[in-house]
Amino acid sequence: MKAQFVNINGEIIPEAEGSVKILTHGLSYGTGCFEGIRGYWNPDTQDIYLFRIREHFERLHDSCRILNIKLPYSPEELVAQTIELVKRNGWKENVYIRPMAFKSDEIIGVKLHDLNDKYYIAATPMGDYISTTGIKCGVSSWRRIDDNMIPARAKVTGGYVNSALAKSEANFNGFDEAIMLNHDGHVSEGSSENIFLAINGELHTPAVTENILMGITRDTIIKLARRDLDMLTRERQIDRTELYIAKEIFLCGTGAQIAPVVEVDHRPIGAGAIGPIAEKISALYGEIVRGYRSEYMDWLTPVFGVAQKNSKKKAASVSSITK
């Protein structure tokens, strides 16, 4: 079901009225930044849970700071605006939320200063972005952007041309997804996902200095591996050929979720099937984001608050009985 409403500069308006002029600076030059946030529908609680939404808006603020964009609302205020937007659209299914801030002046000229800023929050129903049942990857000929070119730690709209080139190249070559190397030839990430390798009973992932986006799902997996699987994660430089000998590989991100890799450059990874570590993490992640693991509820923001209301009603009922 298509979105009926969007939020532009803090005001919820009909989706049909949301538009950008053709000479908008952010459109001409890619001078904008964005986030991707998932909300998961739980049919048992009749609620949508927004996963780690505050952390996403904190990162959006960081991206705006790098691009000299003034965002007039705090992360907490943006969370409240997002909840109201999803409520107004009335979905009862998984959703994807796209906040974006950008230079909004209609001028010709490349710069970041002395320009006006604008932001919007849009949302849409969304299933899997890429397959979660085993994908084939190819190492891209396109190198990952460098921090001194377009800051990789910021989700800059113009920087995703780099990702698009790698993704299309991979698809044209018969792969599902690309794996990108940095300027030194070390593994960086997928076209829009972080990457993990399982080697000798440990997880390995490129360090933040390898021009990766500091992914919120990446951080989630590091925490889950330590708490629930008793697995250490090493953040380090990873060579291309380590991809070929890893026991398991999986990509991760808000859009991708947990995407096990079964082949790289026509070489099977492990047994050429989803491995036990990726399977466990994927199952755990799926339970957490839908509100089935009480110990991780602090990562979730309910849209309708149904579970909270039922909990309060139950507590009140128990209280009246005990009296």
What pLDDT, on a 0 to 100 scale, did the predictor assign at position 310?
45
Do the beta carbons of residue 213 and residue 155 sit within 8 Å? yes
What pLDDT, on a 0 to 100 scale, did the predictor assign at position 130?
83
Q: How many CB atoms lie within 10 A of CB 322?
A: 6
Q: How far apart are the first and last CA of the chain?
A: 47
Q: Where are the CATH 3.20.10.10 domain residues in the chain?
A: 135-294
What pLDDT, on a 0 to 100 scale, did the predictor assign at position 306?
57
> Where does residue 190 rank: exposed (0-12), middle (13-18), buried (19+ CB within 10 A)?
buried
- What phi, psi does 322 have (nearest 5°)? -70, -30
170: tokens are 């991979």
Report, as an integer, the average pLDDT of 80-85.
98
Per-residue pLDDT tens over the stretch 283-307:
999 999 999 999 999 999 999 985 4
- What phi, psi does 129 have (nearest 5°)? -80, -45
Active-site entry in 103, 118, 155, 167: 155
Per-residue pLDDT tens over the stretch 238-249:
999 999 999 999
Q: Is the dihedral of CA 46, 52, 57, 60 positive or negative?
A: negative
Per-residue pLDDT tens over the stretch 12-64:
999 999 999 999 999 999 999 999 999 999 999 999 999 999 999 999 999 99
For residue 2, indicate whether it is catalytic. no
Per-residue pLDDT tens over the stretch 109-168:
999 999 999 999 999 999 888 888 899 999 999 999 999 999 999 999 999 999 999 999
pTM: 0.92
Architecture of domain 5-125: 2-Layer Sandwich (3.30)
CA distances from 45 to 41, 108, 139 (A): 9, 51, 42
Fold of 135-294: D-amino Acid Aminotransferase; Chain A, domain 2 (3.20.10)
Q: Where are the CATH 3.30.470.10 domain residues in the chain?
A: 5-125
